């Protein structure tokens, strides 16, 4: 399990460090600080970044707005402008890059926290899940409820205690249905959300999770053994349902 990873692009070192401290006190993780656009792009290429905070006046031959264009061309990541520039011409240039928010310095950390949460939410809505034919049919009958869980690149964010906590797909071993709730079992922790198992699978934009039982879906990367009635994920044993056996065996034809 991990938390929201943020890249700060700010050319004033003291401001950047104060912002980092405030964000970390709010429970976020600042992966790196860059003072120019080209450095920010290199960081984005080498790190897992969930959100970018961009000043507009920065060092280098790209300003913050040009930097946003280059970053967005490389990878779709939500970004928020944090700037002292409030003039209309700058705002119009910035608006054209489709930021998640535009905050004028000085701002309250509470306002930034809300902006980050909204940025995560709206970005997740732009990523439709990949459904196969059967899942599309199910989805038409049962609208997806997204309360408490957001899909975001290679992870989900689960709302707990008024804050979204990041859980990367690679840490999830299996999902287990319990009525209207779904348990998400990671390597070291279990989460529970009020959402049906099929809805959770539909919200995942990955083919690594497959339904193997009416109450279970597994991450195929953890599969270690199986037989006619059982699937083993390390020390965990998951039942293999008769109605899901053919779908499960199709996995090996695709490898």
Question: Which pLDDT tens digit goes with each residue over 189-219?
Answer: 888 888 888 888 887 767 788 899 999 999 9
Q: What pLDDT does residue 205 have?
A: 62
Question: Which pLDDT tens digit goes with each residue over 27-55?
Answer: 899 999 999 999 999 999 999 899 999 99
Q: CA 176, CA 40: separation in Å to the nearest integer? A: 40
User: What is residue 116's DSSP assignment?
Assistant: H
Query: Do residues 152 and 123 make contact, with C-beta atoms less than 8 angstroms apart?
Result: yes
| Cis peptide, bond prior to residue 187, ω within 30 of zero | no
- Strands 181-186, 172-178: pairing is antiparallel
Query: In the chain, what are the domain boundaries?
Result: 5-125, 133-254
Give the side-chain half-sphere CA count within 13 A for 122. Answer: 15
Quickly name the fold that domain 133-254 has.
Answer: OB fold (Dihydrolipoamide Acetyltransferase, E2P) (2.40.50)
Which superfamily is assigned to 5-125 in CATH? Response regulator (3.40.50.2300)
Query: Do residues 118 and 101 make contact, with C-beta atoms less than 8 angstroms apart?
Result: yes
The sign of the torsion formed by the CA atoms of 187, 190, 195, 198 equals: positive
The torsion angle over the Cα atoms of residues 65, 20, 15 and 46, rounded to 10 degrees, is -40
Q: What pLDDT does residue 224 have?
A: 93
User: What is residue 221's DSSP assignment?
Assistant: G
């Amino acid at each position: 399990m991990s938390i929201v990873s943020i890249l700060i692009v700010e050319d004033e070192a003291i401001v950047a460090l104060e912002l980092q401290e405030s964000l970390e006190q709010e429970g976020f993780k600042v992966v790196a600080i860059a003072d120019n656009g080209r450095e920010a792009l290199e960081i984005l290429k080498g790190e897992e970044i969930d959100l970018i905070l961009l000043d507009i006046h920065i060092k280098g031959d790209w300003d913050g707005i040009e930097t946003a264009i280059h970053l967005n061309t490389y990878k779709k990541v939500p970004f928020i402008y944090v700037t002292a520039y409030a003039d209309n011409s700058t705002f119009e240039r910035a608006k054209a890059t489709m930021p998640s928010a535009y905050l004028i310095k000085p701002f309250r950390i509470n306002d930034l926290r809300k902006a980050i949460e909204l940025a995560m939410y709206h970005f997740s809505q732009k990523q439709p899940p990949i459904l196969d034919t059967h899942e599309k049919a199910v989805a038409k009958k049962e609208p997806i409820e997204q309360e408490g869980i957001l899909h975001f690149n290679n992870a989900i964010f689960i709302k707990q205690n008024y804050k979204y906590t990041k859980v990367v797909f690679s840490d999830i071993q299996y999902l287990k249905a319990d009525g209207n709730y779904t348990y998400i079992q990671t390597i070291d922790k279990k989460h529970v959300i009020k959402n049906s198992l099929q809805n959770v699978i539909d919200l995942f934009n990955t083919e690594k999770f497959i339904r193997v039982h009416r109450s279970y879906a597994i991450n195929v990367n953890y599969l270690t053994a199986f037989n006619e009635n059982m699937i083993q994920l390390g020390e965990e044993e998951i039942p293999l349902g008769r109605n899901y056996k053919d779908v499960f065996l199709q996995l090996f034809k695709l490898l």
